[in-house]
């Protein structure tokens, strides 16, 4: 996993798409304006986001929409929506965690056979505070159209017949009391931030990002190609946070991860990166927190012994662990043992003295000694350039592991 360096973006091309005077922003504003002033959750959220003075910024709605679409703080926007929704619907913004996580917890609770385990899972997100606010309700009896407010007895042991955790069907029926308003908000967002609008900008945006290699695996080229007037790209587009669950982020610049088809369509699939936290390449890569290393030291000193590769990282770093597992990085990089063997042999061939000799002999050919190292090892050797060439992260980490760079 490598970081996408947005400093390499074509800022003029980005501004044409996401600038406050651009067609996309103007289209979104025209869709939002009729909603403002209506008696709906969408009106309240959009007013606070786009039409109300936030401090002393004095920005226009177009400028706020532009800023929203180019925000890197996507998780903050998700939680801000939930805070506003909970404050509006239940009078308590602190309930936002339950709103954002209850569907995932219900799904887990629904799958378990033990009533006590169902109760433990549900109790992890629903408290007396949620019950007092009448935030949740559950199916009443056998009539699928009748619901009753959740009661304290639903969370208490022993589990009674007819209570929330007494059957899987009741667990499955758990919903927020204002389910219809939330669903309506999401439907409005799907129309306002219509992903169909992206089709006309897709290839231009991918070219403006200039990302050559999948940031998730750092193995596959996703090369932009074509001309300035007719750009194309081989990349898939992954929504880091699902556009189905968070439709207000469907067009957000930093929710787009250009990726290879394998990572996007075979490995990630429908995994919810909000519920299961992963490293967001727009924010940071693995950097020094996760490094490729050679497990069998014998391979460093013995010809014919292929190195065993693994990713060394803290077991406490959940984002990195989830990213390694989702994209099968430990398994995939086993296929690059021969590449690692070449790096080992090159470190034995090119001592520091030998490199100094070449640099002196071909003085003027290289702009710096770093460029000479890049040519010898066939890859970029600085962290900011990892998204430019496949296996750059592996190359840098092994050279660090072998003592070439410290």
- Give per-residue pLDDT as tens, 22-32: 999 999 999 99
Which residue from 285, 185, 282 is spatially nearest to 237, judged by alpha carbons? 282
Neighbours of 205 (CB within 10 A): 23
Q: Say if CB 69 and CB 18 are below 8 A apart.
A: yes
Neighbours of 282 (CB within 10 A): 20
More confident residue, 121 or 302: 121
Question: What does the pLDDT read at residue 135?
Answer: 96
- Give per-residue pLDDT as tens, 156-196: 888 888 788 888 888 999 999 999 999 999 999 999 999 99
Q: Average model confidence (pLDDT) for the chain?
A: 92
Q: What integer is the mean pLDDT of 111-119?
A: 90
Q: Say if CB 188 and CB 164 are below 8 A apart.
A: no
CA distance 325 to 276: 11
Q: What integer is the mean pLDDT of 245-274?
A: 95
CA distance 291 to 297: 16
Question: What does the pLDDT read at residue 209?
Answer: 92
- Give per-residue pLDDT as tens, 296-343: 888 888 888 889 999 999 888 999 999 999 999 999 999 999 999 999
CA distance 379 to 388: 9
Instruction: Name, in order, each residue with C-beta under 8 angstroms of 17's C-beta and a sequence gap of 6 or more.
Output: 24, 201, 204, 205, 208
Adjacent-strand bridge partners of 310:
293
Give me 404's structure tokens: 């070439």
Neighbours of 133 (CB within 10 A): 18
Q: CB burial class (10 A; 0-12, 13-18, 19+) of residue 4?
A: buried
CA angle 350, 356, 362 (to 5 degrees): 100
Which residue from 248, 239, 295, 290 is spatially nearest to 268, judged by alpha carbons? 239
Question: What does the pLDDT read at residue 406?
Answer: 62
Question: What does the pLDDT read at residue 54?
Answer: 55
Res 144 pLDDT > 90: no
- Give per-residue pLDDT as tens, 202-244: 999 999 998 999 999 999 999 888 777 788 888 999 999 999 9
Res 382 pLDDT > 60: yes
Answering whether pTM is above 0.85, one says yes
Which residue from 276, 283, 379 is spatially nearest to 319, judged by alpha carbons? 276
Res 344 pLDDT > 90: yes
Q: CB burial class (10 A; 0-12, 13-18, 19+) of residue 279?
A: buried
Q: Say if CB 392 and CB 380 are below 8 A apart.
A: yes
CA distance 348 to 376: 12
Question: What does the pLDDT read at residue 166?
Answer: 85
53 pLDDT tier (thresholds 50, 70, 90): low
35 pLDDT tier (thresholds 50, 70, 90): very high
Question: What does the pLDDT read at residue 56?
Answer: 58
pLDDT above 70 covers a percentage of the chain that reads: 99
Question: Using the 8-state DSSP alphabet, how is residue 34 labeled?
Answer: G
């Amino acid at each position: 996993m490598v970081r996408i360096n947005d400093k390499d973006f074509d800022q003029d091309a980005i501004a044409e798409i996401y600038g406050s005077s651009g067609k996309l922003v103007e289209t979104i504003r025209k869709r939002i304006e009729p909603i403002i002033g209506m008696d709906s959750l969408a009106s309240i959220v959009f007013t606070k986001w786009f039409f109300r003075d936030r401090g002393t910024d004095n920005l226009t709605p177009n400028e706020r929409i532009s800023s929203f679409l180019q925000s890197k703080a996507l998780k903050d926007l998700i939680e801000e929506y939930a805070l506003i929704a909970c404050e509006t619907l239940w009078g308590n913004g602190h309930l936002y965690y339950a709103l954002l996580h209850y569907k995932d917890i219900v799904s887990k609770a629904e799958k378990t056979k033990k009533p006590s385990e169902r109760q433990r899972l549900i109790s992890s997100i629903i408290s007396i505070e949620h019950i007092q606010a009448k935030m949740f309700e559950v199916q009443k009896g056998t009539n699928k159209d009748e619901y009753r407010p959740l009661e304290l007895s639903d969370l208490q042991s022993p589990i009674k017949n007819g209570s929330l955790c007494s059957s899987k069907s009741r667990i499955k029926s758990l919903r927020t009391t204002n389910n219809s308003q939330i669903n309506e908000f999401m439907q409005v967002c799907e129309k306002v931030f219509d992903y169909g609008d992206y089709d006309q900008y897709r290839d231009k945006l991918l070219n403006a990002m200039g990302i050559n290699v999948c940031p998730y695996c750092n193995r596959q080229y996703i090369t932009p190609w074509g001309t300035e007037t007719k750009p194309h790209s081989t990349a898939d587009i992954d929504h880091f946070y699902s556009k189905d669950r968070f439709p207000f982020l469907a067009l957000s610049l930093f929710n787009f991860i250009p990726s290879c088809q394998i990572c996007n369509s075979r490995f990630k699939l429908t995994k919810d990166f909000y519920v299961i936290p992963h490293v967001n390449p727009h924010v940071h890569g693995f950097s020094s927190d996760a490094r490729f290393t050679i497990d069998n030291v014998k391979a460093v000193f013995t010809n014919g012994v292929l190195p065993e590769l693994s990713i060394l990282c803290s077991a406490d770093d959940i984002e990195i662990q989830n990213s390694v597992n989702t994209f099968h990085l430990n398994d995939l990089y086993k296929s690059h043992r021969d590449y690692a063997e070449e790096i080992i042999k090159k470190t034995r061939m090119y001592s520091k003295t030998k490199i100094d000799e070449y640099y002196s002999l071909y003085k003027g050919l290289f702009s710096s000694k770093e460029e000479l190292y890049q040519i010898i090892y066939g890859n970029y050797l600085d962290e900011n350039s990892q998204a430019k060439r496949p296996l750059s992260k592996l190359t840098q980490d092994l050279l660090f592991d072998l003592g070439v760079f410290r």
